[in-house]
Structure 1
């Protein structure tokens, strides 16, 4: 084999390597991964009935970690989480919260709180803790679905009576405002997602 053939082979191999690397960062290579993410979003449902099966704390920690990856105004991260897996506390929450009665039969719940003690560089508390904690909640719901769990967002804030009840049950400090209680568990049965898409709800450039 002469040197020209060797050079040609080397150049061909270099081209193939470059092409593979290019595809690895292109939309074509990313499409299967993107579809997994999209399918997870589109198949998530609110689950209110749970199998008699505990949820490992490592999984619950992962859900909280997913929540902390949410976008946050001014990078203030005003969220705090109370993870509940004590049966008596879950029953107390379920018995006192009209939107979360099924927590009494669930293996776990995550209470998402906004921390008003978190301040910006000027010493001002977050004006967007509700938005930040809502984004964190959606991350948790999607992560739960991805792990094969079922979960549902149950409202607390801005109902002052419910805020006070949750604060009392969980011994929350004054600076921790419970936004919601996310009830978590393994689904008792499969559920079918609703098709909520409406083309008429989309506008481009102007209404």
Structure 2
């Protein structure tokens, strides 16, 4: 990891806010070819980005509006302390493939058509390999500008599951689930609230579909803003201020079967205009 102080400023056009990297990133990070992806902190605030080449071994990193807001940049030049590491995406992908080498029994369209909310579970445990596959599915969801602002809190502690179930009748299924995944949004990484919710919702849908595809059951439980249950979640999971709990997904081996209902509604389909 490299650590350095650098000037944050507007570029020559006045449109972009940039950090000039004080070293040749390709040499330092041993990336002679391709895009250099990096992650680290700016004044303690986490980021994930890529470097833009300006030629002759010079690189800059562009800061989006959310990051500018998080570090208090208002258009005037400022010096920031930066940590930076290279992200080897190919290496990460290889490790993920090994971790999540779990086979799914359904094709994508069948999983979409047949998934239903399951609220009753057997006592059979769910393997960690399956949980890793489910989490990987969530990480494959699309996000605005590829910011990936989600964090997933896996809850296996029976005491915590029981407390969360007891204080919210809509979450009673957590009491007998094999576990739960709390999908949280990182407000420091995605400063636009609507995008944060959309990104986390896309991840939650991927998680639900993967749960169903693996033969498990799952159900989405929403988190109401400013509710006592939201406060309880934050307390029980020790969530930092930057994380916003968006939904809690219970999972386990299903102990109920539901009749499939047709979902197609012609009246909800419009072409070109209303």
Q: Which residue of the partner structure matches residue 86 of structure 1?
A: 157
The alpha carbon displacement at 1:118 in A equals 1.5
Question: How far did residue 116 of structure 1 move?
Answer: 1.1
CA contact (8 A) 1:45 1:192 kept: no
Alignment-derived partner of residue 197 in structure 2:
130
The separation in 1 between residues aligned to 2:113 and 2:142, in whole angstroms, is 20
Distance (whole Å) between structure 2 residues aligned to residue 79 and residue 178 of structure 1: 10
Determine the structure 2 residue equivalent to 1:110. Answer: 181
Residue 9 (structure 1) aligns with: none
1:151 counterpart (218, 225, 228): 218
Q: Normalising by the residue count of structure 2, what TM-score does the alignment of the two structures yield? A: 0.59
Q: Give the gaps of 5 or more residues in structure 1.
A: 1-34, 120-124
* CA contact 1:76–1:126 (8 Å) conserved in 2: no
Match of 1:53 among 124, 129, 147: 124
Q: Which has the larger radius of gyration?
A: 1
In the other structure, the counterpart of 1:64 is 135
RMSD of equivalent CA atoms: 1.5
Q: Which has the higher contact order (CA 8 A, sep 6+)?
A: 1
**Distance (whole Å) between structure 2 residues aligned to residue 53 and residue 147 of structure 1:** 14
- Paired positions, count: 168
Runs of 4+ residues deviating >4 angstroms: none
Task: Name the structure with the higher strand share.
Answer: 2
Q: Deviations over 1:13-32 (max 9, x none)?
A: xxxxxxxxxxxxxxxxxxxx
1:159 shift after superposition: 4.3
Secondary structure at the counterpart of residue 99 of structure 1: helix
Alignment of 1:179-190 (within 5 A): 179-190=246-257
Give the deviation of 1:181 after TM superposition: 0.6
